[in-house]
Amino acid sequence: MTASTAFAAIPPSDSADRHPPGLFHLFFVEMWERFSFYGMRALLVLYMIKGFLKYGDDQAYAVYGAYGALVYATPFIGGMLADRVLGNRLAVIWGGLLMAAGHLMMTVETEAGFFTALSLLVVGNGFFKPNISAMVGALYKGSHAARDAGFTIFYMGINLGAALAPVLCGYLGEEKGWHYGFGLATVGMLVGVATFVAPRGLARILILLTAAATAIGTVVVTKDDSIQLLITVPFLAALVLAAIVSAVQLGRGGLDPSVGQVPAGSRRWARTASYVGTLLAVPVVVLLLKRDTIAGVVLSILGGAALIYILVEAIRSTKVERQRLFVVVILMFFSLLFWAFFEQAGSSVNLFTDRNVDRVVDDTPVVPGQSYDDVVVTQEFVGETIDGKTWHLQDVEAAQKVHEADPSEGVVSFTATADNATLAVGGSEIRTSVFQAVNPAFILLFGLVFSWLWTFLSRRHMEPNTPVKFALGLMQLGLGFGVFWYGATNADAHGIVALQWIMLGYLLQTTGELCLSPVGLSMVTRLSPTRLVSTIMGAWFLATAFSHFLAAFIAKLSGIKEEAGADGAVTPLPIETVGIYGELFKGIALIAMAAGVVALLISPLLKKWMHEGRDHNGLWVEESVNTTGS
């Protein structure tokens, strides 16, 4: 059964209640790909600064920004190649294999290996990212609210992987060794590719087995680490539940075989040339990663070319198509701004959490005058002066590594003084990388709520339109950074910020993201002419690439210069860094709020240009969704 006849066979009443089974197949493929991607991302900045490279803040931010920018720039090229040569399916498989090779290369501790790994991830993501999203859009017809709800469900798959990755890959990377964390990311990517290519029956088995193996293996490995186990169990429960639901849904049918096939007229030599060209591009990307200024120039050229291409296509299109493309371009700008601020999570917010947020729970404040023997050193010691020695972050981490190797070593005995009034001992320290899971964890908690909310409001003709949702997203993002700023201004005497402020800030950023990101993906597939869906999706990610490059520039405003210490360079004390981070977060909060107001003011015009309920020729259409699969 072809897609068109399948659509025609489904009564409209069915489409409001059921999603196509292919959605749940793609859900798990994307979940494992994001697991690998975010597992590496959670470790990347920490690895560059604390690993064998020993980069300073600015250098790490520059590489992270160039990597993030190129990761989201290449989907424009990958989308065009899929539209004209490869088709979505081959592009996803090729991209997944390249990314798996990149994650594996991260285990090689040489500078050449490091940059080659990042390059493979960049080019692989270019093929994978836009095309799997385009395939989700192809499962739906028309502009039914089910599309938004379906993309929100798909978005939950993204964030299930993103939540598991920092907890599992971060645990292995920070606790056992960097290469173990990157190795686990490799396994995740290979599982995603295997699930994608497997027939429906085998895919159901893979989904259930890999979820069960992940849950059981994690419990076995972390059974002696109570705080790690406590954090991980809810994510594992969500993984197992999602696997069961997906396996049941795939019992109704699979991914429509007509979706994502090689375009008509594509030649084998062109596909071979695409693969060879990709491999030849790897050393070029290595150069761009090492020279972020060159990457900025290339990104500008690509961005200008993409914008001109879209505008030319808009001029050649019908009035409805033209105005819809204008809406896409305008909302791309707001999306760019949103992600430039949001992506501070992997850079400035990540280091703020490492250096200035109280990550120790269940600890006990010391009593001045009382003696303490064989105390395990935690982050609480940073900034404290004990027996004439002021503890820096590097001192704490060194003591922790000694203690891990030999529990009788790396401990401290002292008598507390009045200067230690803010010090607490005992408790459990949460690793910095774990906080990269907070945002996706909130998405898992609230994703279905938002999906239900949009459907509920749509049925009552009360759903905010897409531009208004963008405005709400920007405003909530601004409030989240406002909370970070408030926490920084209310730090303790040593510059340490209470844990609840980072959690509340992430919560507000997450609700803003749920208003903007999945709705943005749905909007691109809904408003773009069918012949340009993958290309426009790639352009959408190209705008995200600009946001990463801008994010690196913004993060550098909080770059901390290391100080000379007796044992080498040391990170300044928290009291010296908290104000720098606070001022950055305040500026972001104000700009994001202002952008949200502008988006709200122009939303009536954008709504008019969207021509909801009409086809690309302006005719009214009956909306439906393919719920049967094949």
d(CA 381, CA 15) in angstroms, rounded, equals 58
The two three-digit tokens of residue 49, written as one number: 């600064």
What pLDDT score does 623 carry? 46
Secondary structure letter of residue 366 according to DSSP: -
Contact predicate 626/3, CB 8 Å: yes
Name the CATH superfamily housing domain 20-252+271-357+430-625: MFS general substrate transporter like domains (1.20.1250.20)
Buried-state track 97-125, b at ≥16 Cβ within 10 A, e below 16: bbbbbbbbbbbeeeeeebbbbbbbbbbbb
3-state helix, strand, coil in the chain (%, to 5): 75, 5, 20
Contact predicate 568/393, CB 8 Å: no
Sorting pLDDT into bands at 50, 70 and 90, what band is 144? low
Mean pLDDT over 451-476 rounds to 88
What pLDDT score does 61 carry? 83
Name the more confident of 221 and 276: 276
Number of residues written out for the chain:
630
Sorting pLDDT into bands at 50, 70 and 90, what band is 626? very low
Spatial CA neighbour of 376 closest among 170, 362, 77: 362
Helix axes 21-50, 145-171, angle to 10 degrees: 40
Q: Give the DSSP H or E segment for 361.
A: strand 360-361
Q: Give the DSSP H or E segment for 443.
A: helix 438-459
The two three-digit tokens of residue 428, written as one number: 């459990």
Mean pLDDT over 429-444 rounds to 84
Q: Determine how many CB atoms are found less than 10 A away from the CB of residue 452.
A: 12
Rg (CA), the chain: 25
Is this prediction's pTM over 0.85? no
Residue in this structure with the two tokens 């002696």, named with its chain if needed: 224
What pLDDT score does 518 carry? 72
Residue in this structure with the two tokens 């994510």, named with its chain if needed: 235
Mean pLDDT over 365-377 rounds to 89
Mean pLDDT over 571-587 rounds to 91
Residues contacting residue 21 through CB under 8 Å, at least 6 positions apart: 249, 250, 251, 252, 253, 254, 255, 627, 628, 629
Q: Give the DSSP H or E segment for 103.
A: helix 87-105
What pLDDT score does 563 carry? 63
Sorting pLDDT into bands at 50, 70 and 90, what band is 469? very high
Mean pLDDT over 385-413 rounds to 85
Residue in this structure with the two tokens 């907070």, named with its chain if needed: 438
Secondary structure letter of residue 362 according to DSSP: S
Sorting pLDDT into bands at 50, 70 and 90, what band is 446? confident
pLDDT at 109 over 90: no
Helix axes 200-222, 226-250, angle to 10 degrees: 170
Single-letter code of the amino acid located at 562? E
SS (H, E, C) 504-539: HHHHHHHHHHHHHHHHHHHHHHHHCCHHHHHHHHHH
Name the more confident of 145 and 133: 133
Sorting pLDDT into bands at 50, 70 and 90, what band is 14? very low
Q: Determine how many CB atoms are found less than 10 A away from the CB of residue 200.
A: 16
Contact predicate 547/336, CB 8 Å: yes
Contact predicate 159/38, CB 8 Å: no
pLDDT at 579 over 50: yes
The two three-digit tokens of residue 57, written as one number: 């803040």
Domain ranges of the chain: 20-252+271-357+430-625, 361-429
Spatial CA neighbour of 38 closest among 152, 121, 151, 131: 121
Highest mean pLDDT among 22-26, 168-172, 430-434, 589-593: 589-593
pLDDT in tens, 110-143: 899 999 999 999 999 889 987 888 888 788 775 4
Q: Residue 508, Cα to own-chain centre: how many angstroms?
A: 16
pLDDT in tens, 215-246: 888 887 777 667 777 778 888 888 999 999 99
**What is the residue-averaged pLDDT of the chain?**
83
Q: Residue 575, Cα to own-chain centre: how many angstroms?
A: 30
The two three-digit tokens of residue 515, written as one number: 């208003």
